[in-house]
Structure 1
Amino acid sequence: MGRRSVLPALCLLLLLAWGQPGAAQAAPADPPRAPSTVYAASPALAPGAITVHPYGQLQQSDSLDDYDTSPAASIADPLEPWNRFWFHFNDIFYLYVAKPAYNAWVFVTPHQLRSGLKNFFSNALFPMRFVNNILQFRFLEAGVEFGRFFINTTTTLGFADVAKGKKTIVPVDPTGEDFGQTLGRWGIGHGFYVVWPFIGPSSVRDSVGRVGDCFTDPFFYVYPWELATSSELALRFNALGDVLPLYEDLNSAAVDPYIAMREAYINFRNSQVKH
């Protein structure tokens, strides 16, 4: 099988989305849904009980334990049995495989190396952020992204975030833009909720966005594809330190972690599109 036909599918199995201010057009709101179409006795989260904001901040309202007040407005979830199966699969994988492996990585690797690799990977994904800013007609933000990339690449080859903390003409989220956000700013709704193995929560729109992001990922053009895929997976594994603590906090924040994860993901992506 050719690398061009294999890599989009492999990119769809990679972890993590990179996530900005001034939305041109927010996606239409999804209609309110019952908290669970399969498990009727599953508790409902009160609206706003759990929200995740850009920069990976988890917030819980004071009414988090008041589950039965009213169903939260959410996304359609017609594949809930499928999604719950993969949610539990991912839960086992993250907590009993990825977490111990990452802890071992942290134990044998100095912080400077882990930080350098994380900065290098973020810098390498500059084309994704730059192109999606252009597609959203956010030309000032695109200029900021280019300036960051130029400074970090010419000074440290991207292994240090030299541009971090520099005052810019417009504020830009360090995580940047992705194609799923671009589709949201164009007015395309989530569709329905879906959970992918290893990737985690997503939606039809964001799944399409992940495939689109492959074409702005420099690793897509590395040959052979085995080297490209293994390199990107290793770099994403190195960045798990930003994901695992938030995942564990969110997983323990509600009686039904599946619903909590679904609500938090959709709120997070909506806030990214609108921010």
Structure 2
Amino acid sequence: MKLVPKKLLRSIVLTFCISTTLTACAKTDVSPGGIHDPNEAANRRIHAFNKGVDKVLLSPASNGYGTIIPRPVRTGVSNFADNLSLPNDVINNTLQGKLPQAGSSLFRFVLNSTFGVGGLFDPASAAGMERHDTDFGETLHVWGAGEGAYTEMPFFGPSTTRDAYGFAVDVILDPFFVVVREPTRYIGGVAYVVNKMGDRYDYDATVDSILYDSADSYAQARILYLQNRRFRLGMQGEETYVDPEFDPYEDPYADF
């Protein structure tokens, strides 16, 4: 694999600019209900678009994928996608000062990439090695960046200003995108999409209840995302509200 210096330099510079801008911002004032959504009208339009994409494209495709592809194969695809995301865990755990977690993520990646046949199998978990999943949005939180406004992203769903920037940086700094040359660099993106199709199939009833059975799917998705995200970041007692009785039950939109 041949490193592309200019691409790497652009990624580092852009990451620095984004992180500097966000960490310099004051913490966002949040309404008493714990939701800061000044762009609700625009967000609702994007939410309606995302529901249409799910209804017309994602849901039918995921049903076909889940019905035709055997579960062991879907598990292998999920393992492969998770393994490809481990280098980002290494980077972000390091940036957060969590060096033991970064080392553990690196060891998981090496172990699963070799003995797990490129990540199709997960011997690290079988050996009791816990994954330390993280992202650049969490890194920005650790660095002191405020949550910002609630944001609905086209195709990707609920987010916040901080997490949207974090998502962009995770894509920019993805080692497979920066280091690997075309067309192999896109394998991570393909694996991500296919894995999300499997998640949509596995959690079909939960997703349908959020999007199609609730009286206000936008408000339901919004509160679920914010509660799950804040619980994960340990934001109890900070400037944003977290219900102390909240139970982050497993569902496909736990961090969306």
Assess same fold via TM > 0.5.
yes
Label 1:253 to 1:108 Cα distance change in 2 as closer, same or farther (>3 A): closer
Give the alignment partner of residue 161 of structure 1, picking from 112, 116, 122.
122
Aligned to 2:182: 224
On the 8 A contact 2:87/2:109 being kept in 1, the answer is no
Aligned to 1:100: 60
**Gapped regions of structure 1 (runs ≥ 5):** 9-26, 34-71
Label 1:207 to 1:148 Cα distance change in 2 as closer, same or farther (>3 A): same
**How far apart, CA to CA, are the structure 1 residues paired with 2:29 and 2:199?**
29
Q: Deviations over 1:74-123 (max 9, x none)?
A: 2x211111100110110121133111111112233232222212211211
Label 1:30 to 1:247 Cα distance change in 2 as closer, same or farther (>3 A): farther
**How far apart, CA to CA, are the structure 1 residues paired with 2:194 and 2:84?**
14
Aligned pairs for 1:76-225 (under 5 A) are 76-155=36-115, 156-168=117-129, 172-173=131-132, 176-221=133-178, 222-224=180-182
- Please give the secondary structure, in 2, of the residue aligned with 1:198: coil
**Gapped regions of structure 2 (runs ≥ 5):** 1-5, 12-25, 236-256
- Percentage of matched positions with identical amino acids: 30
Amino acid aligned to 1:164: S
Label 1:146 to 1:90 Cα distance change in 2 as closer, same or farther (>3 A): same
On the 8 A contact 1:102/1:237 being kept in 2, the answer is no
**How far apart, CA to CA, are the structure 2 residues paired with 1:215 and 1:117?**
23
On the 8 A contact 2:84/2:188 being kept in 1, the answer is no
**How far apart, CA to CA, are the structure 1 residues paired with 2:61 and 2:99?**
41
Q: Please give the TM-score of this superposition, normalised by the length of structure 2.
A: 0.72
Amino acid aligned to 1:195: E
Aligned pairs for 1:58-73 (under 5 A) are 72-73=33-34
Amino acid aligned to 1:150: V
The root-mean-square deviation of aligned C-alpha atoms, in Å, is: 2.8
Q: 1:253 offset after TM fit, Å? A: 6.6
**How far apart, CA to CA, are the structure 1 residues paired with 2:126 and 2:209?**
28
**How far apart, CA to CA, are the structure 2 residues paired with 1:264 and 1:195?**
13
Q: 1:29 offset after TM fit, Å? A: 7.7
On the 8 A contact 1:127/1:216 being kept in 2, the answer is no
On the 8 A contact 1:181/1:269 being kept in 2, the answer is no
Displaced runs of 4+ in structure 1, greater than 4 A?
27-30
Give the alignment partner of residue 193 of structure 2, picking from 225, 237, 261.
237
Q: Please give the TM-score of this superposition, normalised by the length of structure 1.
A: 0.67
Q: 1:183 offset after TM fit, Å? A: 0.6
**How far apart, CA to CA, are the structure 2 residues paired with 1:172 and 1:160?**
14
Aligned to 1:31: 30
Label 1:4 to 1:199 Cα distance change in 2 as closer, same or farther (>3 A): farther
On the 8 A contact 2:158/2:221 being kept in 1, the answer is yes
- Please give the secondary structure, in 2, of the residue aligned with 1:164: helix
Label 1:146 to 1:223 Cα distance change in 2 as closer, same or farther (>3 A): closer
Aligned to 2:22: none
Higher percent of residues as helix: 2
**How far apart, CA to CA, are the structure 2 residues paired with 1:254 and 1:28?**
32
Higher relative CO (CA 8 A, sep ≥ 6), structure 1 or 2?
A: 1
**How far apart, CA to CA, are the structure 1 residues paired with 2:181 and 2:73?**
25
